[in-house]
Structure 1
């Protein structure tokens, strides 16, 4: 599984290959992100491949301690969840100065890479992927875990096309330990904002406390990009971007592309409502709306297939009027032949 795996200059390197971390053997480097380096590893106890995410080291001791707490929180938050659309965590530990998480290895690409490669998800693919992610988030929320950084880079599309939610590194989980004797939330962005700018909710952009509805908004922003091939808000200036998120409404997906059904466009815009009371009030509610859209599409396709089948059956069936006319004409013709023959004989 690859998570936020982009080359980073001057990023401290995690242990080299052919090394052992805990009980796991590292066999191949998959990539490096801002928070950790991911390796393909092998679990000799169960004899299976795993993905090993190792926290990048920091020369600052205080920063290192905070990052280790945050990193282990990712394992704590995701490790208590068991859902087919959430990455499975097998182990997490700090050994010999190395902090790591072992998780299921997934062949495929994250959604960010899929979009960057030019892949275009059709309307039904988009609705199906987002519905499964909404279902996964509903499960996480029911278990007290808010992701708070839903974005294409944290949605993995496995080779069987099943999406998985990754990286609960800044998730809010019950009894999260930050420092000895204290619980609360670590802030990772601009000292008071959690999340990735393009996909963060207005309340995140304002540095306000968030709840599960922030994940609903972010998932709506991801869906917007999948449908339109563009982010809802774009700016190279971080402050302008945050102001857009807080104050502006993007064009609806149906305005960007007339091929997008209004019903699906409304789902996106409801999820991205700046007013939390106007948003879907849960990820489950959003999942249900998408499920209804997909069911309506199936019904329309079945109806269309039946209509086509009926039309073909009618076109192949003999025309009653035509049949009767042909028989009548044949009878008249036979009568004329008989009359001529009779006259000739007499």
Structure 2
């Protein structure tokens, strides 16, 4: 559901919002618009804070809104079960005067996929720090019965230097999910809205690629694929054909990261390859165990550097800094293609 929107130039005039108010929230301006929905910068007059408001694209017809309602409802329901510093926070979800909306944390920064596409290479220790936090976030979700099923760089938002936020739970499986009667929830071919495949093939697990049942380990594989790209600077598999790409994911092992770049520590390379094992039983049993391995790596690195009399502040992954363009960009592109929900279904979210 992410729209490929770009940040407008500084001289551009902010878009005039189609709405002035949704619920108790005042709309300041439009942040982004996609095929399905709009994201507005809103203000909560009660709590005195800014937030992001996701709602329909005004141009959608009622039929089109209905087509996307399941994904919209499921995003709010799945996210609403979670409370973690590295998962975007949902504040509210409801219907006011016929407008269905989700009110959520307003983030500043940049999507991970845009950083990678710009050619930015993360130092290995920074990769370990970022992925450790994401693994901990996934463990939090998994413990509450939520499987994201679409972990990818476009759904990871970088706030500050090394603070990731996992976003977009639109196709997540959760205990309170609204089921699509016509779809097998484990089959990537049937994870469709209209005729569009949900989930990104590059980061799908082998079981997703072959239509087999999935569990928490599918997120572990996808996080491993993200970590692979952060370390190496390219995706694990490449093909112009989606069918061929799924075949590669299902049956071919990529070269280990340290084999492509000798500067990548073998310890991190091993973590990636374990997470990306073709057979789920060969992967980490839980995201928590993956997080622990990453934490052990970082502790060893810290101790080694202290032995070399490197200042403690230099051990922070944030101490390396990031390109200037990583800061000050508003998080709206990834949220600008949102789905709509029927009024009664949205109200159920608040129960």
* Partner SS for 1:26: strand
What count of residue pairs does the alignment treat as equivalent? 296
With structure 1 as the length reference, what TM-score do the two structures score? 0.79
Residue 187 of structure 1 contacts residue 194 of structure 1 at CA under 8 Å; is this kept in 2? no
Residue 94 of structure 2 contacts residue 101 of structure 2 at CA under 8 Å; is this kept in 1? yes
Q: Which residue of 2 aligns with 1:100?
A: 101
What is the deviation of 1:111? 0.6
From the superposition, tell whether residues 39 and 227 of structure 1 become closer, same or farther in structure 2 (CA, over 3 Å): same
5 Å-filtered alignment, 1:184-263, equals 190-192=189-191, 194-263=198-267
Q: Which runs of 5+ in 2 are unaligned?
A: 7-14, 192-196, 311-351
Range moving further from structure 2, 215-224 or 202-211: 202-211
From the superposition, tell whether residues 187 and 292 of structure 1 become closer, same or farther in structure 2 (CA, over 3 Å): closer
User: What's the CA shift string for 1:69-119, capped at 9, x where partnerless?
Assistant: 221211111111111111110011233443221101111011111112222
Q: Which runs of 5+ in 1 are unaligned?
A: 9-13, 307-346
Query: 2:47 and 2:187 mapped to 1: Cα distance?
Result: 36
What is the deviation of 1:245? 0.5
User: What's the CA shift string for 1:211-256, capped at 9, x where partnerless?
Assistant: 1000000000000000011000111211111111011111110111
* Partner SS for 1:203: helix
Which structure: greater helix fraction? 1
Query: 1:148 and 1:183 mapped to 2: Cα distance?
Result: 19
What is the deviation of 1:296? 0.7
What is the deviation of 1:159? 2.4
From the superposition, tell whether residues 226 and 244 of structure 1 become closer, same or farther in structure 2 (CA, over 3 Å): same
5 Å-filtered alignment, 1:236-315, equals 236-305=240-309
User: What's the CA shift string for 1:157-179, capped at 9, x where partnerless?
Assistant: 11253111101111111032237
* Partner SS for 1:105: coil
From the superposition, tell whether residues 24 and 185 of structure 1 become closer, same or farther in structure 2 (CA, over 3 Å): farther
With structure 2 as the length reference, what TM-score do the two structures score? 0.78
What is the deviation of 1:66? 4.6
Residue 216 of structure 1 contacts residue 272 of structure 1 at CA under 8 Å; is this kept in 2? yes
Residue 176 of structure 1 contacts residue 183 of structure 1 at CA under 8 Å; is this kept in 2? no
Name which one, 1 or 2, has greater alpha-carbon Rg: 1
Residue 129 of structure 2 contacts residue 162 of structure 2 at CA under 8 Å; is this kept in 1? no
Query: 2:186 and 2:213 mapped to 1: Cα distance?
Result: 11
Query: 1:229 and 1:158 mapped to 2: Cα distance?
Result: 20
What is the deviation of 1:194? 4.9
From the superposition, tell whether residues 160 and 52 of structure 1 become closer, same or farther in structure 2 (CA, over 3 Å): farther
